[in-house]
Amino acid sequence: MKITIIGTGYVGLVTGACFAQVGHKVVCVDSDAAKVKLLQGGGIPIYEPGLEEMVKENVTAGRLSFTNFIKDGVEKSDVIFIAVPTPPQADGSVDLSYIESVARDIAAHMTSYKIVVDKSTVPVKTGEKVAETIKRYSKSKVEFDVVSNPEFLREGFAVDDLMKPDRVVIGVRSQRPVQAMKAVYQPFGSPIIVTDINSAELIKHAANSFLALKISYINAISVICEASGANVQEVAAGIGMDARIGRRFLDASLGFGGSCFPKDLSAFIKISETLGYDFGLLKEVQRINTQQMDRFVKKITETLWVLKDKKIGVLGLAFKQNTDDVRMSPAIDLCQRLLKDGAHLRVHDPQAMEKAKALLPKTVTFVSDMNKVAEGCDALVIATEWPVFKQLDLEQARKSMTHPILFDGRNLFDVAEMEKLGFIYKSIGR
């Protein structure tokens, strides 16, 4: 199939590459000329395992191309995906101006029937607005269908999630685009659910909010575990074995972050408010998340007492493992809080150091070797769940620190083993 994707952010780029990988002919459009040039030359602007190779392979095979010109994309394809940003506004609602602008551009260049698919995360009823906009701005009055097709990929696992999705959701208002949409996704072999547009849009916000709720739930349990002497990992294993609950997304942490959960929770609360419902449950999810970071910082200050002029090593800057994304990263938030209290930081991340440099002051020391971060430190903190941190040379770290204190915001190590190694070890809910 001939497919155009407008917007080459995380979702657009990975979707484009994976569609090309299964044999579709894909044109990716982006208004950022420098980004398009980089992509045309075989470079990619983000770190995402497996993506660079996939982009190169498909560009070489002639199945994937990049352009600045939306007109090219609209003319060349029958199915046009919108994957542009939907950033948060100050009041928590979503800025839909990029979506609106793309809808107008598509309308201006349509000369034959098109299926316009929204992949960006949007409030329920956005599809109706997109359809109205295209109808209003289309000069030639050609026929079109608007479809909602939310994306469920996780950063760091995006290629895998897209190639083997749990499900594909297709929201339509008539049967006409269904066959073509099924043809787009048939090669992936996953179940396809066809719904109305409003339900498809709601599925996305409901799914992300539920996952965030699951994390806040286990984080709340971690507080009870600490107060009672129980172990949150054992509790998570015990409840997670119930198939109705499931073990995934029950890892207690210093809180969730990233460009999706915090934004989508605020948006969903706002949308519900507009529809006349006070979604207090989700407000509590947000409150627990903020408290989790507060409690972690308190743990550090209670142990080190005065942070001013203390040297602290921080392992992890990305908002999660396997990515260089530092947007709304709990690790960056933590660094900023420690710096505000006068601590000196030595930091390391396997992929996110460059992006973190833009968010942290020049006084922070960026250390390229994870095993050297602890040198001369009063404490070491693990802020991101990178699996490679489990291979840290703990003996070397302990010896090189002025005090062997380790705060583990991701529960990477075993409590008894850390104590045996001579660490004062404080983790989450254990």
Catalytic positions: 260
Of 177 and 262, CB closest to ligand UGA: 262
188 binding ligand UGA? (CB under 6 A): no
Among 173-181, 253-261, 340-348, 396-404, which window interacts with ligand UGA (CB under 6 A)? 253-261
Contacts of 357 (CB under 8 A, 6+ apart): 366
256 binding ligand UGA? (CB under 6 A): yes
Q: How many residues bind to ligand UGA according to rule CB under 6 A?
A: 21
Among 65-73, 255-263, 277-285, 354-362, which window interacts with ligand UGA (CB under 6 A)? 255-263
Q: Which 8-state DSSP code applies to residue 153?
A: P
351 to 390, contacts with ligand UGA by CB under 6 A?
385
Secondary structure string (H, E, C) spanning 285-307? HHHHHHHHHHHHHHHHHHHHCCC
Among 177, 258, 409, 429, indicate the residue that binds ligand UGA (CB under 6 A): 258
Helix (H, G, I), strand (E, B) or coil at 25: strand
φ, ψ for residue 157, nearest 5 deg? -135, 20
412 binding ligand UGA? (CB under 6 A): no
CB of 250 to ligand UGA, least distance (A): 6
Among 61-69, 243-251, 342-350, 413-421, which window interacts with ligand UGA (CB under 6 A)? 243-251
Bridge partners (DSSP) of residue 407 are: 381, 426
Site string for ligand UGA, 204-233 (x = CB under 6 A): ----x--x---x------------------
CA-CA distances (angstroms) from residue 309 to 194, 342, 360, 373?
58, 6, 17, 17
Of 121 and 133, CB closest to ligand UGA: 121
Bridge partners (DSSP) of residue 345 are: 312
154 binding ligand UGA? (CB under 6 A): yes
120 binding ligand UGA? (CB under 6 A): no
Question: Quick one: the chain helix, strand, coil %, rounded to 5?
Answer: 45, 15, 40
Among 261, 268, 296, 407, indicate the residue that binds ligand UGA (CB under 6 A): 261
Closest to 123 (Cα-Cα) out of 98, 144, 95: 95
CB of 248 to ligand UGA, least distance (A): 7
Among 15-23, 39-47, 149-157, 411-419, which window interacts with ligand UGA (CB under 6 A)? 149-157
CB of 207 to ligand UGA, least distance (A): 7
The H or E element spanning position 179 is helix 178-185
Give the angle subtended at the CA of 281 by the CAs of 11 and 331, to the nearest 5°. Answer: 50
Sheet of strand 344-348, all strands in order from the earlier edge strand to the far edge: 365-366, 344-348, 311-315, 379-382, 405-408, 424-426
Among 39-47, 181-189, 245-253, 365-373, which window interacts with ligand UGA (CB under 6 A)? 245-253
Among 30, 105, 155, 378, indicate the residue that binds ligand UGA (CB under 6 A): 155
260 binding ligand UGA? (CB under 6 A): yes
Strands (E), 104-260: 114-118, 144-148, 168-172, 192-196
Q: Which 8-state DSSP code applies to residue 227?
A: H
Measured N-to-C along each axis, helices 280-304 and 197-228 cross at an angle, to the nearest 10 degrees, of: 40
Among 137, 152, 188, 366, indicate the residue that binds ligand UGA (CB under 6 A): 152
Among 153, 159, 168, 172, indicate the residue that binds ligand UGA (CB under 6 A): 153
Q: Which 8-state DSSP code applies to residue 394?
A: H
Of 83 and 377, CB closest to ligand UGA: 83
CB of 222 to ligand UGA, least distance (A): 11
Among 320, 355, 426, 430, indicate the residue that binds ligand UGA (CB under 6 A): 320
Closest to 405 (Cα-Cα) out of 383, 376, 380, 384: 380
Enumerate binding residues for ligand UGA (CB under 6 A). 121, 151-155, 208, 211, 215, 249-251, 253, 256-258, 260-261, 319-320, 385
